[in-house]
Amino acid sequence: MSDDVTPDDVLGPPRTWEVMLKRGIRKHCPRCGAGKLYESWFRMKRRCPRCGFMFEREPGFFVGAYFINFAFTEGLLFVVVMSFVFVLANNAGASIVPPLVVGGILALLAPLVFYPYSRTIWSAIDLAMTPLELDEIVAARDHLDQQHRAGPDDPGKPE
């Protein structure tokens, strides 16, 4: 373990819900605010590159992210349905085809587009509800130390 672990890492004031959620919405680390957390659109790094925070804190951790993604998509579909109801109230002969097409496209694309955001938002919510314990802070610091020793070009560099 490095000597860089400070008492503030453990005893400092926790980030506010607002700060952590804003970071999650921007696909940033809820702990330190670092970006570039994804290797690709669907593949999140195991740990934050800046602070070493492990995103998947326990098995099945991201089930909450799937719920957030589902709720977001359902919210969009609700808006489409309510818009159609409004149009239908003002024009009884309105076709159902446009809302079905829009709803179908949203049902397919929204979860794919929102997927990475739902994971970082869930990480922020979880971190706000369950602050890091000392062993998690130490593991994050050890990971960063190990990465620093391995160097940026070392093929044996840990994840």
Q: How far apart are CA 155 and CA 158, in angstroms?
A: 9
Q: How far apart are CA 68 and CA 48, in angstroms?
A: 21
Q: Please indicate, yes or no, if residue 69 is contained in any of the structural domains.
A: yes
Share of the chain above pLDDT 90, in %: 64
Residue 139 confidence (pLDDT) above 70 = yes
* 16-49 per-position pLDDT tens digit: 899 999 999 999 999 988 999 999 999 999 999 9
> Which of the four pLDDT bands, split at 50, 70 and 90, describes residue 134?
confident
Share of the chain above pLDDT 70, in %: 86
Domain that holds residue 133: 7-150
Nearest alpha carbon to residue 10 among 132, 140, 141, 143: 132
Q: How many CB atoms lie within 10 A of CB 53?
A: 23
Q: Please indicate, yes or no, if residue 159 is contained in any of the structural domains.
A: no
Q: Please indicate, yes or no, if residue 158 is contained in any of the structural domains.
A: no
Phi/psi for 158 (5° steps) reads -70, 165
Q: Please indicate, yes or no, if residue 155 is contained in any of the structural domains.
A: no
Q: Please indicate, yes or no, if residue 1 is contained in any of the structural domains.
A: no
Judge whether 34 and 28 are in contact, CB under 8 Å: yes
How many domains does one find in the chain? 1
Q: For all residues of the chain together, what is the average pLDDT? A: 87
Residue 9 confidence (pLDDT) above 70 = no
DSSP state of 131: P
The whole-number pLDDT of residue 97 equals 95
Which of 131 and 106 is assigned the larger pLDDT? Answer: 106
Q: Please indicate, yes or no, if residue 157 is contained in any of the structural domains.
A: no
The whole-number pLDDT of residue 4 equals 52
The whole-number pLDDT of residue 13 equals 66
Judge whether 52 and 139 are in contact, CB under 8 Å: yes
Q: Please indicate, yes or no, if residue 31 is contained in any of the structural domains.
A: yes
Which of 59 and 156 is assigned the larger pLDDT? Answer: 59
Q: Please indicate, yes or no, if residue 33 is contained in any of the structural domains.
A: yes
